[in-house]
Copies of this chain bind each other. A is one copy, B any other.
């Protein structure tokens, strides 16, 4: 008889683990318990449903429960795993639909419980009109809230805050973006933040930086955000100040967390407990530039985690090779891509870090419709080792950041970058690729 694999959480990492394991080893019994009503969806697409560009939340679903069942995978939405006994390998599950609790057993367990938004410690966050954006249910609530909303305030200018600012503007709302640090995308360097600020303001977003949020005012329904710099009227508030991993279940069963506070795993996504794996936003990754565990709760990483865990459980050789921190997002016309360490982060890490920042174009100077493109390179003085970089462009040209990511994987230098034979034609690049121009400037 086949072994039984139970997956706790079925959004990205969990869904990938289940699908991959069953595909590689059809003898496995595979069951997925998902607390919410949705499994296997692209949460990264939620801002584009809010904007109206994607006509319905259902479009985000990668694989329906029906498709999972056809593959022989038991998928159970609205089922919350409330307790796990690792000695007996027994789970206690609460079925929210039926209102009953039952037990199940596993040979292999995948913890894919994801992450949840953190709320700032200020009064008023419990009121109506205050939202976060993480799950499909969050998306449903926000979609309803958008009808009739006029003035939105967004707390936090990270990826989610920035993407939703665009979505809200596309819905015709007045939008004020509130950020405690001195710039949008504060985890990256100021040159990129300056570009972002300009783009946001050109599209009618009010950007308040260096501002402390003190309270959400209102009497049961939010009316305004009280800040260190003044009051922002708002009938809709999105809190996008950060997320934290849902590690409670893991901790209760004795699964060890790593230094980041997410679940520690090895390259095969195994936790400290025999037969117990972790995948997705609840799990750490190894950062190949920093050389230590790092928490990178992004959809592509979650899928890689899950696929690795699923393969290993199915008896296949598989490893997750870690991250270098690559990310990209869209802010109106700008595509902003970063990888590795920002200059500020590199300095904090003790590197003798330098940076080069150049403006170029995404096509030949004479090619009609070519648009500006910016490159930042972060490198170590003396060794010229590349530590990180950013590419800001109008569209897919920002994917040049992947070349930097490839170099970071192998401790590449500026010289290694300059040696590259990159693709050139007038519609796609200047004759000197912007990456090469930046590397020349750096040397």
Chain A residues packing against B (C-beta within 8 Å): 12, 42, 44-45, 48, 53-54, 59-60, 62, 288, 298-301, 303, 321-330, 335, 337, 339, 362, 364-368, 393, 395-403, 405-407, 409-410, 416, 418-429, 431-433
B367 touches A426 (CB 8 A): no
Complex Cα distance, B366 from A323, in Å, reads 25
Residues on the B chain within 8 Å of A422, using CB: 300, 326, 402, 405
B421 touches A401 (CB 8 A): no
Complex Cα distance, B326 from A330, in Å, reads 28
User: Closest CB of chain B to A10's CB: distance in Å?
Assistant: 15
Given contacts A45-B367, A321-B418, 14 further A-B contacts (CB under 8 A): A44-B364, A54-B366, A54-B367, A62-B365, A299-B424, A300-B431, A328-B425, A339-B421, A396-B396, A399-B399, A399-B423, A399-B428, A402-B422, A405-B422
Residue of B nearest to A325 (CB): B421
Residues on the B chain within 8 Å of A324, using CB: 421
Complex Cα distance, B424 from A325, in Å, reads 11
Complex Cα distance, B54 from A239, in Å, reads 47
User: Closest CB of chain B to A294's CB: distance in Å?
Assistant: 11
Complex Cα distance, B401 from A364, in Å, reads 18
A53 touches B368 (CB 8 A): yes
Q: Supply 14 A–B pairs (Cβ within 8 Å), ascending by A.
A: A44-B424, A44-B426, A54-B366, A298-B424, A326-B423, A328-B424, A329-B425, A330-B427, A362-B396, A396-B399, A401-B423, A402-B402, A402-B433, A409-B419
Complex Cα distance, B338 from A422, in Å, reads 10
Residues on the B chain within 8 Å of A402, using CB: 400, 402-403, 420, 422-423, 433
B366 touches A45 (CB 8 A): yes
Complex Cα distance, B299 from A365, in Å, reads 14
B432 touches A300 (CB 8 A): yes
Residues on the B chain within 8 Å of A301, using CB: 421
Complex Cα distance, B403 from A410, in Å, reads 13
Complex Cα distance, B321 from A327, in Å, reads 29
Complex Cα distance, B267 from A419, in Å, reads 11
Residues on the B chain within 8 Å of A60, using CB: 366
Residue of B nearest to A410 (CB): B410
Q: Please tell me which one of the listed residues B54, B325, B406 contacts residue A368 in the complex, with CB atoms under 8 A apart.
A: B54
Complex Cα distance, B403 from A53, in Å, reads 30
Q: Given A326-B421, A426-B42, A409 and B405 touching (CB < 8 A)?
A: no
Residue of B nearest to A289 (CB): B421
A398 touches B428 (CB 8 A): yes
Residue of B nearest to A391 (CB): B423
A423 touches B42 (CB 8 A): no
Residues on the B chain within 8 Å of A431, using CB: 12, 42, 44, 299-300, 303
A421 touches B396 (CB 8 A): no
Residues on the B chain within 8 Å of A53, using CB: 367-368
Residues on the B chain within 8 Å of A398, using CB: 423, 428
Residues on the B chain within 8 Å of A59, using CB: 366
A409 touches B416 (CB 8 A): yes
Complex Cα distance, B368 from A84, in Å, reads 41
Complex Cα distance, B58 from A366, in Å, reads 10
User: Closest CB of chain B to A384's CB: distance in Å?
Assistant: 13
List the 3 closest pairs (A to B, CB-CB), nearest first: A321-B419, A300-B424, A328-B423
Complex Cα distance, B53 from A364, in Å, reads 13
A399 touches B401 (CB 8 A): no
